[in-house]
Amino acid sequence: MRRLGRLALPLIGFALAGCRWQSVLDPQGPQANELAWLFWLFTWVLGAIWLAVMIALVLALVRRRPPRTDPLAVDPAQDRRYTAVVTGLAIATGVVVLVLTGLSYVSQRNLFRVEEEAVTIRVTGRQWWWEVRYEEADASRSFTTANEIHIPVGKPVKIKLSSADVIHSFWVPSLMGKQDLIKGQENDIRLVADRPGIYRGQCAEFCGLQHAHMGILVVAEPEGDFDRWRDAQIKPAEPPGDPERQKGEAAFLAQPCIMCHSVRGTPAGGKVAPDLTHIGGRRYLAAGTLPMSRGNLAAWIVDPHGIKPGVNMPTIKLHPDDLNALAAYLEGLK
Ligand code: CUA
């Protein structure tokens, strides 16, 4: 029951956060439309062929002929009819295969058509989370975040994909097909979101124990909102104002957290775990595993291995007061 509860929690949170459920059949951009169109075309054409074969089979079974008296007797007219039918069907099969191949090729070309991008995002797959870096020509406007990508609606976005460890696969079904993230190689995809919304994605290549808990959110928003979000992300973390959060910051900086995590504006500069500068503004924690809340932050810090067995985050012994203060500090990093 506890297991069920743990599984259901992210789903309920996801529904409450107003996310669309991830589905290839709910395309929300030109690339996803192209794939959905291809999917339905194949389904209808191949379904119709299957139905025709089944009808022919049933007719053949029902309309049995009486056994021939002389098995060696040949009827040239009937032979010609059979030859015509078999040749016709063979040609029809060839034509169907060729047409579907041609249409797949055209779709593939459309899918990877290069358009001048408005935003470039570098996504690095890691066991088991996504490092997200917004790259700008002006380096002072580049920044790093994790597990949640924001994009402007209607603008082409270029996503550069690579991995820091094993092979992962970036898949946000409502926006684009899958693409692998491979260490030492860079793959590019482009996508456009036609409508504002929150689109869930999932790592689609088995990458170890917590592959199933490697979710990602794409938040598509009007350009003004996107620009405000980006400007806020570029800024370093604001120093905590109230005593509890100050205590939390002190606890954070005194613990090994800073070996792996960064909070820009503080001495914490670790680069192997998610950047926490604005973690409180993200919708989820631990790559789509827990909805963001002070309670879940505390639960995660206390027992990461109970929530995501095998995760690289160590368990850190904290006094309960420090734990609460630390959760308050992180939640306030908007
Ligand atoms: Cu990363 Cu599966």
| Residue 69 is assigned to a structural domain of this protein | no
What integer pLDDT is reported at residue 8 of this predicted model?
Answer: 58
Ligand 1 center–CA 66 separation, angstroms:
61
Nearest of 227, 272, 186, 200 to residue 24 by alpha carbon: 200
3-state secondary structure 166-225: CCEEECCCCCCCCEEECCCCCEEEEECCCCCEEEEEECCCCCCCCHHHCEEEEEEECHHH
Could you say which of 207, 233, 259 is where a domain stops?
Answer: 233
Distance, CA of 240 to CA of 248 (rounded, Å): 9
Instruction: With beta carbons less than 8 A apart as the criterion, state whether 169 and 203 touch.
Output: yes
pTM: 0.86
Q: Mean pLDDT in each 10-residue stretch from start to end of the chain (334 residues)?
A: 54 56 88 93 96 94 82 84 94 95 93 88 96 93 96 96 97 95 95 94 96 96 96 94 94 93 94 95 94 95 94 91 94 93
Could you say which of 198, 233, 268 is where a domain stops?
Answer: 233
Ranges of H-type helices in the chain: 2-16, 30-62, 76-111, 223-234, 243-254, 257-260, 294-302, 304-307, 320-331
Does residue 82 share a domain with residue 146?
A: no
Domain that holds residue 151: 119-233
Reading the block at residue 100, the tokens are 């579907």
Atom 1 (ligand 1) nearest CA: 168
Closest ligand 1 atom to Cα of 204: 2
Distance, CA of 325 to CA of 334 (rounded, Å): 16
| Residue 188 is assigned to a structural domain of this protein | yes
CB-based pocket (< 6 A), ligand 1: 125, 128, 168, 203, 205-207, 211, 214
Q: Which residue has the tokens 């800073």?
A: 258
Distance, CA of 330 to CA of 248 (rounded, Å): 8
Could you say which of 197, 215, 233 is where a domain stops?
Answer: 233
Q: What's the structural domain count of the chain?
A: 3
Closest ligand 1 atom to Cα of 206: 2
Ligand 1 center–CA 213 separation, angstroms:
8
